[in-house]
A and B are shown apart, each in its own frame.
Chain A
Amino acid sequence: MQIAVTNLSKTFESMDGPVAALQDVSFTVTQGEFYTLLGPSGCGKSTTLRCIAGLENPDNGEIRIGEKVVVAPGISVPANERPIGMVFQSYAIWPHMTVFNNVAFPLKQGKRKVSRAERERRVMEVLSLMQMEDLAHRPAPNLSGGQQQRVALARALVSSSEVLLLDEPLSNLDAKLREDLRLEIKDLTRKLGITAIYVTHDQLEALAMSDRIAVMLNGKIVQEATPRELYLKPKTSFVAQFVGQVNFFDGTVLEDSSDELGLIETSQGVWRCPVPSGMIKGARVKLAIRPEGMRLTSGRGGEEGNLLEGRVEKTVFLGETIECQILVGSQIITSKVSIENEVNEGDKIFLWFSPENCLVLPAESL
């Protein structure tokens, strides 16, 4: 089922007057897509999801689930009449019921009601999908966090709603479990062909699971893209640093060029970078380089490309790489170098990076 959100707006009353929680949020999720709303807390991602679920009402805007308009001026279909399943951050497993009864609950309500035999069959089916059929008759509170979240997922899936909403479902779990469930959820939605909207503040989760990601800030969508595009071609410095580690340099365009590489002047030197069209000579820019985009090199000269000189302040051995904090001018930058290199604190080093690894962003954007 396709979900279309158009011009969603909502304001909350706070101590210092009204605060815009959502400002003209629009996006479309296609049938079977795994779509993620990513952003820091308070950015409006959960509010958007809860508007789709019907747990909150926007002040304005329209939401369609499939062909049905569920939110529009004057219309608000109650949550229980929307064709959705939802998983919550707190699991929201009912402690007074067994696992089986938790999962069976949706099949006893309204239009989703099915016969007793059918109910039993479907509950056991979805529980076996989660590899939880042995725990069916356990009281719900006697489960671990991971098991509870599986039950929550089973409950959201049991009524075969074609839309699955997930509100930070993994954030209460420990790291290892989180990784397992991440894969599990992704496989499951793919297998069932279900349309999923996933809310998280964890960029790794978003990058690993999504078909498409919308990054939100202050109630607006800042960028909507595939994980790869988001990581490699963030539109703003906020997005760049939110989806991964990044070093920023303030600079000015020395030479603009629409097809070829241009030149950027920074306090650390003049570098050759792809300058997007629209940024003309003299424009103030932010240059972004990811830590893994830089390579340790022996010295000046020789290779083509950009160079940076600095002193190693701190090294952290991470196993697969070494993370170095390097003092460049008055600025500390982070670089990941391969473990063949021997770097010691206090070393003077040179870092090399190719123009393709440079990203030129507008200076005053979020």
Chain B
Amino acid sequence: MKSITLPEPNVEDRLLRLQNWVRNNLLMILVIAVVLFLVLVPVTRLLITSFQIGHPAFPEGWSMENYTSAFSTPNFYETLGRTFWVAGLGTSVSLTFAVLVAWLVERTDMPFRNLAWAMVLIPMAVPNILFAMGWTLLLSPNAGALNVLLRGALDLVGIHLTKGPINIFSVGGLIFLDGIRGVTTIFLMVVGCFRMMDPTLEEAARVSGAGGVATFFKVTLPALSPAILAAGMYSFILSMESFEAALAVGLPGGVFVLSTLIYFTTRVQAPLDYGLGAVFGVVFMVIMMFLLIGYRRAVRNADRFSTITGKGFRPRIISIGKWRHPALGLFVLFFLISIVLPFSVLLWTSLMPSYRVPSFEVMHLLTLRNFIEILNDERVYNVLWNTVVLMLVTATATMVLAFFVSWMIVRGQGKGKGKGLLDALVFMPLSIPGIVIAMALLMAYLTAPLKYLGIYGTVWILVLGLCVAYLPFCTRLMNGAIVQVHKELEEAAYVSGATTFRTLIHVTFPLLFPAFAAGWIWVAVHALRSFSIPLMLAGRRNQVFAVLLWEYWEDDISLAAAMGVLLIIALIPLTLLMRRFVTQFSGQKG
């Protein structure tokens, strides 16, 4: 490369160049500013708070005290360890089940495959918190419906119990709930690999003399192991962050994990300790960051393993003979555990004046009173309004931002430092658990200077929180869509005289609209069922359905059940609609 010495430009020239540069990169500067504001400001505030003593609004000076006190509490280490092994065991449960089920549905001659698919997918519509509430009603040690049934059965064989035998308010309960919830996620991530796997790999094993079972364990599973491992890690990360089950069954049982410990420290205990909470948050964030880096590596390896050729064939179907119907039974069992049982007990409870163990004797108590009471609760209308605003604004804001961000990441000119910065910035929130995002926002908007914006305690702070949380998914969705739009379509607009902005509005956006709509619906549905962020940031004026549900749960279980029933009924069609749209536009799992 030849080096050419240019005459040293004078100040005026430089100013002109700067002006030119700003003018040409206005959109980029604006978008980076918005993303910085959304992501970096709360995280910075969290870090600051972790080094301060006293209330974040009235700090009493800098100190390492929060860190030393956190790391000298045995409870903290115990919780940290528990978070890991609960997530690990939960993921093993989901992984085993999901892989088996994916193999059955894609590679065997099991009957009613479509029905089986539906039975794995529909449980997605039940928010985690309702799933946990349902199982609390089924398995609470004293009056849990299933426990009563089990006690009855044990009575017959001469074992007399007054409690249990199963206690959901335990580590086991937590693992059970997490494990079941992870199944659908992993299933969706691995089912495609089973479908597209090159059948010649298995055929080669069969002609080499391996039997069906040997082929499955010696060839099929190892060939898919990178994909399965990646799915497992993803699910593990989600379990690490999971909050709902840990709140509903962990807290009453005194079983803490990191997310509930943060909630407890900053929202429940007296006095609240923000500094300590911030330290927990920072630790949580760092752990998640490492896990995520590991996950990215695993995914890259999975891509390198080219068992999946995408040739669009359907692999050989394996006959499982007499196991065909028992196999279907596995799906029915999953469907029962993940939706039928919890939904039934919620429905039952919602029709009772207060919780009763299901039986014919109390049938005469059946009533719609709870539903009427909900309709008469004036809070509900406020909550309804908040929820609708939250869904619409979050979906629109997140997708518009994702559209611009993705466009810049995909189409950004040349080396562009801004491009790399944006990519890293929108990826970052993936490593921040929802509960930590919420805590960081809480601290940022409770203190100067951001408290003067006055959005603390309003629905707008929830919008901010969800926006940050959903940005990584939405940008990845939009990245995939933009890559598919031929660059020359935009260039044709520029040379036709259109500005960048007009090109985006008149050419790029209309072409991306289907993907945009898919993302919009995804965000809206997730906003409706979001729980940890709204609960963490809840004030008196900004409650949404999920928060009101929790409030009901704490003082009137049958009201909560009625609310839950209404939510599930609204969510089932919305969730199915969302999946339809989202799978169309990305390899991402909704």
B-contacting residues of A (Cβ < 8 Å)?
A: 9, 11, 13, 18, 20, 53-55, 57, 60, 73-76, 78-82, 84-86, 88-90, 92-96, 105-106, 109-112, 152, 155-156, 159, 165
Contact = CB atoms under 8 A, between A and B. Distances in A.
Contacts of A90: 486, 488
Contact of B497 (A55, A74, A93, A159): A159
A86 B16 CA distance: 30
A76 B20 CA distance: 9
B496 interface: yes
Nearest to A20: B1
B219 interface: no
B511 A84 contact: no
A165 B499 contact: no
B30 interface: no
A92 B510 contact: no
B498 interface: yes
Given A20-B1, A73-B6, A109-B496, A88 B24 contact: no
6 contacts: A53-B491, A54-B495, A55-B491, A75-B20, A78-B499, A82-B495
Contacts of B206: none
Main secondary structure of the interface of A (DSSP, over half): mixed
Contact of B488 (A57, A76, A89): A89
A80 B415 contact: no
B498 A110 contact: yes
A148 B413 CA distance: 28
B498 A105 contact: yes
Nearest to B502: A109
A90 B415 CA distance: 25
Contact of A78 (B2, B6, B24, B493): B24
Nearest to A73: B6
Nearest to B492: A92
Contact of A80 (B4, B9, B494): B494
Contact of B491 (A73, A82, A88): A88
A71 B486 CA distance: 26
B16 A74 contact: yes
B496 A60 contact: no
B17 interface: yes
Contact of A159 (B6, B9, B20, B496): B496
Scoring B1, B415, B494, B496 by chain A CB atoms within 10 A of each residue's CB, the highest score goes to B496
Nearest to A50: B491
Chain A CB within 10 Å, residue with most, of B2, B415, B495, B506: B495
A109 B495 CA distance: 10
B202 to A, nearest CB: 37
B6 A55 contact: no
Contacts of B491: 53, 55, 79, 86, 88, 92
Nearest to B506: A105
Contact of A92 (B24, B489, B499): B489
A92 B494 contact: no
A96 B511 contact: yes
A2 to B, nearest CB: 19
A105 B489 contact: no
A111 B499 CA distance: 11
Interface string B488-530: 1101111111111010001100110000000000000000000
Contacts of A106: 496-498
Identify the interface centre among B9, B13, B413, B488: most chain A CB within 10 Å of its CB.
B488
A88 B498 contact: no
A13 B492 CA distance: 25
A84 B495 contact: yes
A159 B495 CA distance: 11
Given A74-B9, A74-B13, A105-B498, A152 B511 contact: no
B493 A105 contact: yes
Nearest to A109: B497
Given A9-B2, A55-B491, A79-B495, 15 more contacts: A57-B413, A76-B20, A78-B494, A80-B495, A80-B500, A86-B491, A86-B495, A90-B486, A90-B488, A94-B493, A96-B510, A105-B496, A109-B497, A159-B496, A159-B497
B495 A18 contact: no
Contacts of B4: 60
B498 A109 contact: yes
Given A55-B494, A106-B497, A94 B507 contact: yes
B9 A55 contact: no
A94 B491 CA distance: 11
A231 B395 CA distance: 62
Contacts of B492: 86, 88, 92-94, 152, 155
A330 to B, nearest CB: 42
A78 B21 CA distance: 12
Contact of B496 (A9, A18, A78, A155): A155
Pick the most buried of B1, B9, B493, B497: most chain A CB atoms within 10 A of its CB.
B497
Nearest to B489: A92
A109 B506 CA distance: 11
A266 B485 CA distance: 56
Q: Which 10 A-B pairs have the closest CB atoms?
A: A109-B497, A106-B496, A92-B492, A79-B494, A92-B488, A86-B495, A88-B488, A112-B497, A96-B510, A109-B498
A13 B488 CA distance: 22
Contacts of A73: 6
Interface string B1-15: 110101001000100
A137 B404 CA distance: 31
Given A74-B17, A88-B492, A90-B488, A95 B511 contact: yes
A11 B3 CA distance: 12
Nearest to B24: A78
Looking at B1, B6, B510, the one whose CB has the most chain A CB atoms below 10 A away is B1
Contacts of B500: 78, 80
Contacts of B1: 11, 18, 20
